[in-house]
Amino acid sequence: MSTPDHDRKFFSILRHRRRRATAPRLYAALFCLAVVILSAWPRAARAQQQQLENEIVANLAGGRVIVHVSREQITFAVIDQPLEVNSAPPRVLSLDSTHVGVLFGAEEWQLSGDPHPVRLDRNFQRIGKQDPRYQAYNDQAEPDLEMIGVGFLEKLRPLVAQLHNKLQVKSDDPIFEVVVIGYALNYGPEVWQVEYRIEQDEVGARGKDYWQTRVLRPRFTQLYPPEGKHTPRTLVEVRFPDDASDPGLRSLIERNDPRIERLRSSDQRFAKVLQSIDKGEAQKAVDQDATDLLRAIVPLLAGDRKFVVGTISEQQGFDWVVAPEEPMEKAQQDKNQPPEAPTLRRKPKSP
């Protein structure tokens, strides 16, 4: 059980954090970081050792991902933003030959009886659409994206089910998030935000303050391409938690930040890429120039924090520009899904 001092610290943090109505993810992120949850049983006779065996801790990953879709390539950067000393870094998972997933939030869970944490990027396998449990799955995304979403859902369920304390979490706050980046067959470049929330019910038969926790089906938000043929194409940036006071990269470019302006004046190629972003035509930038610019900018944003940079192209697939310290995990292929299976997306609507 959390201590009174621990709870006061937790709620003090919540009171002084800003939230954005369009992406209210902060509170859920912080509870995973700050709260150690113990399974509370009604009988006082249970030994303390048994309580420790039931302890589960979620290790939170915070940071940001920046995505630039250029002519024939996607360049992305992931910057670590540790939320405590032992925070997990945002991890990149290869979902298939042309998609990666960037994991934020409760991506790593530590069970007291197991020295090895449970990582959601390891041994990941998508659940087939034909699974009868998900025939009624609402049509928020196309089948291949839903398989990715359900795959993470199935890994989260047994972990979240071990949370039995009442958690001060808003109903719209996700505990886990995946940013899916890549190319869809017969569609083109895409970026999706997949968010997972929880729901709790008090179980009276178990005794007072014993709660049943379950993770809900994910919510999909398409971040790229934007709706409408004439909608500006620019950088995509996602933060977790989304409460940062420092400006995003797009804002720095718009403000003519001195660091960006030095890069602009130092290389004509960079100037052209920045101009295309300014005009809302980021997709017209030369691929290598866009990659080189992001590679030059990210260290300025990261400071002493760790970061990775990668590229994805429809023909060449994935490649690292700045690789992580550990090898990237790869999703296990769905045996029931042929590799040439088409991906159908809703085409952006014309204005």
3-state SS, 170-210, equals CCCCCCEEEEEEEEECCCEEEEEEEEECEEEEECHHHCCCC
Which whole number is the average pLDDT over 227-235?
91
What pLDDT does 346 receive? 46
Q: Does residue 345 carry a pLDDT above 70?
A: no
Question: Rounded CA gap, 191 and 78, in Å?
Answer: 14
In terms of pLDDT, which residue wins out, 332 or 275?
275
Identify the bridge partners of residue 237 per DSSP, sorted by sequence position. Answer: 66
Q: Which of 133-147, 184-198, 261-275, 337-351 has the lowest mean pLDDT?
A: 337-351
Average pLDDT, the chain: 79
Q: Across residues 201-220, what is the average pLDDT?
A: 84
Confidence at residue 198, expressed as pLDDT on a 0 to 100 scale = 93
Which pLDDT belongs to residue 100?
A: 96
Average pLDDT of span 133-140: 48
Average pLDDT over residues 323-347: 61
| Confidence (pLDDT) at 209 | 78
Beta bridge partners of 190: 182
Please give the pLDDT value at position 299.
97
Q: How far apart are the first and last CA of the chain?
A: 54
DSSP 218: P
**Does residue 21 have a pLDDT over 80?**
no
Stretch among 22-26, 302-306, 309-313, 322-326 having the lowest mean pLDDT: 22-26
pLDDT at 125 over 50: yes
Element housing 150 (H / E): helix 143-160
pLDDT at 295 exceeding the cut of 60: yes
Identify which of 143-147, 210-214, 243-247 has the greatest average pLDDT: 210-214
pLDDT at 308: 97
Statement: residue 102 has pLDDT above 60? yes
The CA-atom distances, in angstroms, between 19 and each of 16, 28, 192, 219, 250 are: 10, 11, 21, 19, 20
* Whether pLDDT at 185 is above 80: yes
Per-residue pLDDT, 207: 59
111 pLDDT above the threshold of 90: no
